[in-house]
Amino acid sequence: MPKFNLETLRQLAVQVLENSRVSRVNSISVANALIAAEADGISSHGLLRLPGYCDQALSGKVDGFATPVEEFPATGAIRVDAKSGFAYPAIDAALGVCENISKESSIIGIAISNSHHAGVLGYHVERFAELGLVAMGFTNSPAAIAPWGGNRALFGTNPIAFACPRKGAPPIVIDLSLSKVPRSRITLAAEKGEQIPLGWAVNSDGQCVQDPNAALLGALLPIGEAKGAALALMVELMTAGITGSNFGFQASSFFSAEGDPPNIGQFFLVFDPKPFSENSFFNRTEMLCKAISDQPGARLPGERRFESRKKSKSESIDIPKHLAESLKKRLP
């Protein structure tokens, strides 16, 4: 596979986006997020997403020139309308004003409407943690999970992320999707003619199946069974319910260039821990982290991505040949 350093990939991504009817400022925002995913070893949300993003910008499904509009309806409340553009510039806009607002309000809620795929949700909450803030992030997505006991996809995979700042160490970052497996795993099994394990998905009759083609006509199963389905419902309310964006069952695909904009939502709840903990929070966080690390084989959430990130800064990153060739064809 071809090898590239991070900066070369970043510049390539910006050029490809700009050549696909995306403004320079939005191209930089999207490219930064995709390259961060590559550096962290999360290639499924890295440059593999770029051709689809470009096709959607070219078709007008996503507005590559959209400028997010911010509103401040109350103390500690930020509303951002992504204007059917990419999610990344809208989240960047909220992050840009959050540091100043956190000096006035210890708790901040950020509601983003008319948005798109947010990529690695942990990438966003980590940046809030770098400001010394505890952050929780939620995003809905096109329907993939059925309500518990149902047989039709209604909720998205609806990731939840959490980041906690630490003293003299990278933040703790927790990032999880609410389906047992990503839909891409089932699609790949169908392409290879392989069966899937029972418990991954149901068919259109609500029955657990091993046939991936039947699963693709049904719905994914959530982590934790009924508990995961309840969390997926919570995320729909936290994102689409609060922001007025589309629910998962209303949203168009993140992968197809056809159809209306997905116009899904994101919500972030961030707060300064110091006023609530009499400044003991960071010491107690380190106490807990040490208790975890002292156990042989135990790892803190996010450690693997930080190790990959460190390695990526000094070594080249492998990109599939077909992807590299596809991106080069999209250059001006």
26 has pLDDT over 90: yes
Instruction: Name the phi and psi angles at 282, rounded to 5.
Output: -65, -40
Comparing CA positions, the residue from 230, 120, 253 lying closest to residue 175 is 120
Domains of the chain, earliest start first = 1-59+302-332 (1.10.1530.10), 69-175+227-297 (3.30.1370.60), 180-221 (3.30.60.50)
What pTM did the predictor assign? 0.94
State the pLDDT at residue 285. Answer: 97
Mean per-residue pLDDT of the chain: 95
Comparing CA positions, the residue from 50, 51, 45, 41 lying closest to residue 6 is 41
State the pLDDT at residue 27. Answer: 99
1 has pLDDT over 70: no
| Integer Cα distance of 129 and 136 in angstroms | 10
State the pLDDT at residue 314. Answer: 86
| Integer Cα distance of 71 and 43 in angstroms | 34
182 has pLDDT over 90: no
State the pLDDT at residue 99. Answer: 85
Task: For residues 116-133, give the mean pLDDT.
Answer: 98
102-111: per-residue pLDDT in tens?
A: 888 999 999 9
Q: ∠ CA(119), CA(120), CA(122), 5° rounding?
A: 145
23 has pLDDT over 90: yes
Comparing CA positions, the residue from 32, 305, 78, 260 lying closest to residue 170 is 305
Which band of pLDDT confidence, cut at 50, 70 and 90, is reported for residue 161? Answer: very high
Between 123-132, 186-195, 215-224, 254-263, the lowest mean confidence (pLDDT) is in 186-195
Task: For residues 249-277, give the mean pLDDT.
Answer: 96
Would the CA dihedral through 127, 249, 148, 216 be positive or negative?
A: negative
Task: For residues 65-81, give the mean pLDDT.
Answer: 98
Task: For residues 19-43, give the mean pLDDT.
Answer: 98
203 has pLDDT over 90: yes
Write down the residue that tokens 């930064």 correspond to.
32
136 has pLDDT over 90: yes
State the pLDDT at residue 187. Answer: 82
Residues 6+ apart with CB under 8 A from 305: 40, 41, 42, 122, 173
